Amino acid sequence: MKQELETPAAIPEARSAQVQRMTGGQAVVRYLIHEGVTHILGIFGHGNVQLGEAIAQERGRIRYILVKNEQSAVHAAAAYAKLTGKPLAVTTSVGPGATNMATGAAAARINRLPVLLLPGEVFADGVGPVLQQLESFKDETVNSALKPVSKYWTRVTRVEQLRRKMREAFDAMLEAGDEGPGVLCLPMDVQAEAADFDISLYFAPVDRAYPRICEAPEKIAGAVERLVASRRPVIIAGGGVLRSGAQRELVRFAERIGAPVVCTQSGIGAILWDHPLNLYSAGPTGTSCGTEMVQKADLVIGVGTRYSDFTTSNDTLWMSRPDFINVNICHFDVSKQRSYKLWGDAKRTLTALLDHLERRPAALSVKGTGSAYTNDSGYFREIQDSLAKWMKTADSWLSRDRVPVDQTAAIDVINRHAGDRSVVINAAGSLPGDLHRLWKNKDPEGKGYLMEYGYSTMGFEIAAGLGARLAMPEREIIVFVGDSSFLMASQELVTAVQQRLPFTVVVFDNRGNQSIRHLQQGSGFEDFSMEFDFADRPRAEYVPVDYEMIARGMGCRALRANSRATLQKALEEARTHKDRPTVIHLQCEKDDLMGGYGGWWDVPQPEVDAHGNFRERRSLYLEQKKKQVIR
């Protein structure tokens, strides 16, 4: 409209071969194709049908998937990005469709995953008020709610701005070490208006190959001096190991310095389960051996980790006052714990460390741990003894065989069923803790375990199954989802049925929010409003929710299980279904869950209560707080 009003005679009769006139919607869609985006997910409304028309014109070059909830669309795109490193696009109408994306955007931002969000926007020419427009005395719209949860945010007010803003969004989203959502708010009129684009520039080749940076040799040498002086090194492997593709280098490095490895939730996959230096995890969801070895360390080498509260037990693991070496591509993270900083790519940095260690004179190589990956090393024997004790504990949980099945036993059945090319997905509840301690990673590529534990978003799981299937159609996808998360966001099963996307969903039916119920009990709080019992009287019977029938009603195949044997049979049958999701309604034990194994999580205790019930707990809580070492 602006060009029509301002320059009615501006279009020449003969246009250059390099110039093409496109609407805002066409310019967006064609640039997505140029960047290699394969899918757009979303829901059309009056605020983005103009973009929808542009997508329809390119249906042979980019695929559109109609989802059932905008939040789920972002989760699906985030899972795709986690497994491929590449973004998908999500489009919504103006207003509630756009604000529905906020939780998904927050999860993607916290997990540093690139997704491109294209919310509809109110008219750029100022016509209003209109349907679903937020009237305000400020120059804001509801899309401003996405600012805090995005890496890049802009409102496009003229079609010509897309010439630069589309490239900027991708540049920002894909910044190595600080990836995140890009948001382009697209006013309804801008989607329909047209402008001239020099396609030789707009569609110019884009170099998305970021160099693998590494510190200077003198910095590497300084790190090696610290390594060989250490007697009790421990490696904390985070998600940065997998993003860099540094699994092999990490294992070689651990073997070279004789250091055990504990993995964060994002780092599972950095080392195979049966490696003798794999201690699984540390912290509140850690193993006894992993937590013990970190607590006794004199040097912690953090590779691609952010040191979250679940990794550090809220900073109570550092009582031994260890030194730190951090390998990280992110400036913000590499400085944590007042570390010796190795800013750079994990794969290249670990390779540089290994090369420097190999060049050391033989007399110096045996100082400290040296090549202590051998039974001749007392430290290695200590690691093996601690690991053996943990494996006995783990086996006592994994081998349980009763009806209804224990959650840990179900994990064991699924783990045995899954191959080295399977992908398992989870996000919230009591499952992440058990999986962190017990899951045996078989995938040398490190893509077999997709845990959203940055935001721990209930409702992420099934949408992520859809995104994982788009990312890896050749792999078996198995979704772990609690009954509460299923009830919160199961609607993308219909989307998967529409698209004929097969994956397996195991619904762990334990009659409520048992993770937080157990947190209440363990913290001395009242067991309050966490179970799916009838609300009219205490300790009433449970609401008979039939997840098998719900799944059938959505068009899925559905099965039921309540034991090791019936779960194994259901998983085998689900693997044969290739045309739609299969949902397994698993009835499981709700009360007997794993506890902590030396880790601590900061759950504040009331300072004042009417009956004095928390006086002792408050005192113990404050004693634990004193153990925090804030570096």
Sign of CA dihedral 321, 326, 330, 335: positive
pTM to 2 decimals? 0.93
Which domains does the chain show, CATH number per domain?
2-202 (3.40.50.970), 217-388 (3.40.50.1220), 399-587 (3.40.50.970)
Q: Is 490 exposed, middle or buried (0-12, 13-18, 19+ CB in 10 A)?
A: buried
Beta strands 340-343 and 323-328 are: parallel
* Residue-level pLDDT at 613: 82
Give one DSSP letter per residue of 81-143, joined into a string.
HHHHS---EEEE-STHHHHTTHHHHHHHHHTT---EEEEEE--TT-----TT----SSS--GG
Question: What is the SS3 assignment for 351?
Answer: helix
Q: Which two tokens stand for residue 108?
A: 């993607």
Q: What's the gap between Cα 162 and its chain centre?
A: 30
Q: In sequence order, which residues have a C-beta less than 8 Å from that of residue 409 and are 6 or more positions away?
A: 397, 398, 399, 400, 401, 402, 564
Whether the CB-CB separation of 253 and 237 falls below 8 Å is answered with no
d(CA 100, CA 503): 25
The label of the residue with tokens 């850690």 reads 286
- Smallest Cα–Cα separation from 431: which of 484, 474, 395? 484
Classify 411 as helix, strand or coil: helix
Which segment of 130-139, 219-228, 579-588 scores lowest on mean pLDDT?
130-139
Report which of 243, 259, 101 is spatially closest to residue 251, judged by C-alpha positions. Answer: 259
The larger pLDDT score, comparing residue 454 to residue 506, is at: 506
CA within 13 Å, CB half, 224: 27
pLDDT score, position 609 = 84
How high is the pLDDT of residue 5? Answer: 46
User: What tens digit of pLDDT does each residue of 6-37 get?
Assistant: 444 444 554 455 999 999 999 999 999 999 99
- pLDDT class for 437, splitting at 50, 70, 90? very high
* pLDDT value at residue 612: 81
CA 536 to chain centroid: 39
* pLDDT for 269: 97
pLDDT-based confidence at 521, cuts 50/70/90? confident
Cα–Cα distances (Å) from 336 to 4, 328, 453, in that order, read 55, 10, 20
Q: Return the pLDDT at 135.
A: 59
The dihedral formed by the CA atoms of 442, 443, 447 and 453, expressed in degrees to the nearest 10: 20
Tell which residue, 287, 242, 266, 181, has the closest CA to residue 451: 266
pLDDT of residue 518: 67
Q: How confident is the model at residue 597 (pLDDT cuts 50, 70, 90)?
A: confident
Mean pLDDT for the stretch of residues 193-197: 97
Non-local (6+) Cβ contacts of 63 within 8 A are 38, 39, 40
For residues 553 and 573, what is the distance between their CA atoms, to the nearest angstrom? 19
Q: Which of 83-87, 167-171, 449-453, 626-630 is predicted least confidently?
A: 626-630
What gap in Å lies between CA 126 and CA 472, rounded to an integer? 44
How many other C-beta atoms are found inside a 10 Å radius of the C-beta of residue 439? 25
The sign one gets for the Cα dihedral 470, 424, 78, 280 is negative
Distance CA 461, CA 528 (A): 26
CA distance 383 to 297: 12
pLDDT confidence bin for 542, thresholds 50/70/90: confident
What pLDDT, on the 0 to 100 scale, is given for residue 9? Answer: 47
How would residue 611 be classed by pLDDT, with cut points 50, 70 and 90? confident
pLDDT at 7: 46
State the average pLDDT over residues 328-345: 96
Query: Residue 588 in contact with residue 566, Cβ under 8 Å?
Result: no
| ∠ CA 159-160-165, rounded to 5° | 90
Question: Distance between CA atoms of 228 and 359, rounded to whole angstroms?
Answer: 13
Query: Per-residue pLDDT for 3 more than 70?
Result: no
Please list the residues that pair with 17 across neighbouring strands.
Answer: none
CB 287 within 8 A of CB 436: no
* Whether the Cβ atoms of residue 398 and residue 438 lie closer than 8 Å to each other: yes
